[in-house]
Chain A
Amino acid sequence: MAQKTMIQAITNALDLELASDENVLIFGEDVGKNGGVFRATEGLQAKHGEERVFDTPLAESGIGGLSIGLALEGFRPVPEIQFFGFVFETLDSIAGQMSRTRYRMGGTRNMPITIRAPFGGGVHTPEMHSDNFEGMITQIPGIRVVVPSNPYDAKGLLIAAIRSNDPVLYLEHMKLYRSFREEVPDESYTVPLDKAAVTLEGSDVSIITYGAMVREAKKAAENLAKDNISVEIIDLRTIAPLDIKTIIASVEKTGRVVIVQEAQKQAGVGAQVASEISERAVLSLEAPIGRVSAPDTPFPFGQAESTWLPNATDIENKVKEVINF
């Protein structure tokens, strides 16, 4: 066991999977010699060779098509989209092609592709780098969208994603890459792809969230505990398709819900969670569902990030509102 940051856990997972399965290939822009712009693939080309870890020309759609073709040849592609804000360039490969290949070919072909992409706010990137477009992908049938919130899950979810024969979009929140360390086992392990985590058990209110907002929710929960408010935190981990059972079990226990997402409010993951709760557990609710999110503008210019992004105080206030309803 060793203390690892999330990005170290990711590199470690990629290294282990390259070693254990010769069909795993890593490619993208700058992932080879340079080890990726965030160093997620640091040292992997030197260790596993240029046939397994390689740079591509600078074109995301080409990277998407390359992934699909390699999957058809029996490989297990792990492409990197350098920033998730660039996803529109390869949206046909994701939404129109790899997610529906299994369906359209009647289950006769698999697309064991794991697309990795950094995303998320709080690191003052230039525009079109940080955008939270994850909700858009969650509407596409046939692909899982995974967003780890901590180093341990990051490793286990990534290994599970690479081993899955279904396509996975694996989103890495840039703020979490190096913001904290935790114990991560050295050996290989998986974290299930279709299971949310109960990160904190509580009895008064359920905070349902994912990604970087899990840490904000934890901070809020610590403060709320001082006021004797017992918070349960559900970390969705896989935001599509949802682990509805874990969500509903928590809501039925606490009777109060605050849904937190870093992304804008319109449509998206929080809206889907709220809708599932309304459909299945509305009679367990003792207060309206509370929501914390970013406002409905495009992702803001760097200097406005701190007010635009939701934080622990916003969550704390919303929980109190729901408790005092």
Chain B
Amino acid sequence: MANNKAAVNFDKLLGDESQDFKTVQILDETGQVVNPDIMPDLSDEQLVELMKQMVWSRVLDQRATALNRQGRLGFYAPTAGQEASQLASNFAMNKDDFLFPGYRDVPQLVQHGLPLSQAFLWSRGHIEGNKYPESLKAMPPQIIIGAQYIQAMGVAVGMKKRQSKNAVYVYTGDGGTSQGDFYEGINFAGAFKAPAIFVVQNNGFAISVPREKQTAAVTLAQKGVAAGIPAIQVDGMDPLAVYEVMKEARDFTTAGNGPVLIETLTYRYGPHTLSGDDPTRYRTKETDDIWLKRDPLVRMRRFLTNKGLWSEDQENELIDQVKAAIKEAINEADAIPKQKVTDFLKVTFEEQPQNIQEQITEYSAKESN
């Protein structure tokens, strides 16, 4: 006999889970404003500044790639394609907000105050790259996927205890949302009602594994539901939408309402890193082309040009300035003396135990030869 009982309609539940997660967009692919009601409250100067930062990042990506090929930079994770997701989100934050970047988020770190020469030293594997002044509210790029989420939560809980008016913002990728630390971070922050903005830059691939293989969830934003925190998906190729959502998230969280989760839909044009990754093994040219048409610089350039705020000459002049600044930063990095093992030994503990003291003597002798 057939069992017709149905206490639960699982098919319907499955369909309902993602229905509230629509993608916020303001500028479409052609640079037209499609959502004028939510236009950011930015002056012409600020709009131009945001564009300048994205152009800076694109040029930096090209130069960093070339410098890596020449052996003048070390580890590098390309950023082209993610400029709106990275720079427009950062643009909504304050200098006293605390930034936790992933390894691809060097552009935000530099815009937040890290000298470019130090970013280059970090890439080369030099300790001077990570000596942050107390005034720089950031940690160096996190390598362990997800670890930055729980630490960001910790700073946010601390800010709340200090009754600070600032917020923490932290980045991971689509793959990062599969980590336990992703959930522990958003869950603790929700439970403590801490001022944190958790950004997931969904660029479609965790190295080679496509987004749909990470989870059965239709959106990554909906993962916020389980933690009881508000979450939203935004067109990550649209700088104005990313900025506006981030700005509103900052207002919400700094008002004491608890954390926010933001999923940006974006794409990296280049490989995962320059350490041997070949995207043609896992992505098609057709997919690349779809995303290239959504380029954040193209749509912002059209938008600003239509407003009479941007020109080709202006952009070319900026590109030359950025190249000059990069050259100068490389020269500064080159001028930093070689690091010593004794330097590491001296900073591993504040108070040096016996083994460290002995090894300082040993390596001082080795390094003075």
- Enumerate chain A interface residues (CB-CB to B < 8 A): 25, 51, 56-57, 59, 61-62, 64-75, 92-93, 96-97, 102-110, 141-142, 144, 164-166, 193-194, 241-245
Q: Is the CB of A165 within 8 A of B350?
A: yes
Q: Is the CB of A65 within 8 A of B153?
A: yes
Contact partner of B153 (CB less than 8 A), chosen from A69, A92, A194, A244, is A69
Complex Cα distance, B132 from A75, in Å, reads 19
Q: Is the CB of A97 within 8 A of B347?
A: no
Q: Is the CB of A75 within 8 A of B153?
A: no
Q: Is the CB of B354 within 8 A of A69?
A: no
* Residues of A contacting B158 in the complex (Cβ-Cβ under 8 angstroms): 69-70, 72-75
- Enumerate chain B interface residues (CB-CB to A < 8 A): 98, 127-128, 130-134, 139-140, 144, 147, 149-159, 161-162, 168, 180-181, 184-185, 187-188, 191, 343-344, 346-351, 353-356
The residue on B at minimum CB distance from A100 is: B348
Complex Cα distance, B357 from A245, in Å, reads 12
* Residues of A contacting B162 in the complex (Cβ-Cβ under 8 angstroms): 73-74
Contact partner of A59 (CB less than 8 A), chosen from B140, B156, B187, B350, is B187
* Residues of A contacting B153 in the complex (Cβ-Cβ under 8 angstroms): 62, 65-66, 69
Complex Cα distance, B356 from A165, in Å, reads 16
A-B contact pairs, 13 of them (CB 8 A): A57-B184, A57-B187, A66-B153, A66-B157, A69-B153, A69-B154, A69-B156, A70-B157, A93-B147, A104-B140, A106-B128, A107-B347, A108-B133
Complex Cα distance, B347 from A57, in Å, reads 33
Closest-CB distance, B174 to chain A (whole angstroms): 20
Q: Is the CB of B354 within 8 A of A56?
A: no
Of A92, A106, A193, the most chain B CB neighbours within 10 A belong to: A106
The residue on B at minimum CB distance from A111 is: B350
* Residues of A contacting B133 in the complex (Cβ-Cβ under 8 angstroms): 108
Contact partner of B353 (CB less than 8 A), chosen from A69, A71, A108, A144, is A144
Closest-CB distance, B9 to chain A (whole angstroms): 31
Q: Is the CB of A65 within 8 A of B154?
A: yes
Q: Is the CB of B354 within 8 A of A96?
A: no
Interface SS of chain B: helix, strand, loop or mixed? helix
Complex Cα distance, B346 from A203, in Å, reads 37
Complex Cα distance, B188 from A67, in Å, reads 12
Q: Is the CB of B154 within 8 A of A96?
A: no
The residue on A at minimum CB distance from B181 is: A61
Complex Cα distance, B150 from A250, in Å, reads 45
Contact partner of B181 (CB less than 8 A), chosen from A51, A65, A72, A103, is A65
Closest-CB distance, A93 to chain B (whole angstroms): 7
Report the 3 A-B pairs with minimum CB-CB distance, sorted nearest first: A69-B154, A65-B150, A73-B158
Contact partner of A69 (CB less than 8 A), chosen from B131, B157, B187, is B157
Given known contacts A62-B188, A97-B147, A106 and B131 CB-to-CB distance under 8 angstroms: yes
* Residues of B contacting A71 in the complex (Cβ-Cβ under 8 angstroms): 154
Given known contacts A62-B187, A92-B147, A107 and B161 CB-to-CB distance under 8 angstroms: no
Complex Cα distance, B236 from A49, in Å, reads 43
Q: Is the CB of B185 within 8 A of A65?
A: yes
Contact partner of B354 (CB less than 8 A), chosen from A109, A164, A245, is A245
Given known contacts A66-B157, A73-B162, A242-B355, A105 and B185 CB-to-CB distance under 8 angstroms: no
* Residues of B contacting A74 in the complex (Cβ-Cβ under 8 angstroms): 158, 162
Q: Is the CB of A103 within 8 A of B344?
A: yes
Q: Is the CB of A72 within 8 A of B354?
A: no
* Residues of B contacting A241 in the complex (Cβ-Cβ under 8 angstroms): 353-356
Closest-CB distance, B195 to chain A (whole angstroms): 12
Complex Cα distance, B351 from A248, in Å, reads 22
* Residues of A contacting B140 in the complex (Cβ-Cβ under 8 angstroms): 104-105
Complex Cα distance, B144 from A102, in Å, reads 17
Complex Cα distance, B351 from A110, in Å, reads 11
Q: Is the CB of B350 within 8 A of A65?
A: no
* Residues of B contacting A62 in the complex (Cβ-Cβ under 8 angstroms): 150, 153, 181, 184-185, 187-188
Contact partner of B139 (CB less than 8 A), chosen from A72, A102, A193, A245, is A72
The residue on B at minimum CB distance from A143 is: B349
Given known contacts A62-B188, A67-B154, A97-B147, A73 and B132 CB-to-CB distance under 8 angstroms: no
Complex Cα distance, B158 from A25, in Å, reads 10
Closest-CB distance, A121 to chain B (whole angstroms): 28
* Residues of A contacting B154 in the complex (Cβ-Cβ under 8 angstroms): 65-73
Q: Is the CB of A142 within 8 A of B147?
A: no
Q: Is the CB of A68 within 8 A of B151?
A: yes
* Residues of B contacting A51 in the complex (Cβ-Cβ under 8 angstroms): 161
* Residues of A contacting B181 in the complex (Cβ-Cβ under 8 angstroms): 61-62, 65, 92
Given known contacts A65-B151, A67-B154, A105-B140, A56 and B131 CB-to-CB distance under 8 angstroms: no
Q: Is the CB of B356 within 8 A of A106?
A: no
Complex Cα distance, B98 from A71, in Å, reads 13
* Residues of B contacting A109 in the complex (Cβ-Cβ under 8 angstroms): 132
* Residues of B contacting A103 in the complex (Cβ-Cβ under 8 angstroms): 344, 347-348
Given contacts A62-B181, A65-B153, 10 further A-B pairs with CB under 8 A are A56-B191, A67-B154, A69-B151, A69-B154, A73-B159, A103-B348, A106-B127, A106-B130, A193-B351, A194-B354
* Residues of A contacting B355 in the complex (Cβ-Cβ under 8 angstroms): 241-242, 244
Complex Cα distance, B147 from A164, in Å, reads 24
* Residues of B contacting A107 in the complex (Cβ-Cβ under 8 angstroms): 131, 346-347, 350
* Residues of B contacting A69 in the complex (Cβ-Cβ under 8 angstroms): 150-158, 168
Q: Is the CB of B131 within 8 A of A194?
A: no
Of A62, A70, A75, the most chain B CB neighbours within 10 A belong to: A62
Contact partner of A73 (CB less than 8 A), chosen from B128, B155, B343, B344, is B155
Of A65, A75, A92, A106, the most chain B CB neighbours within 10 A belong to: A65
Q: Is the CB of A243 within 8 A of B346?
A: no
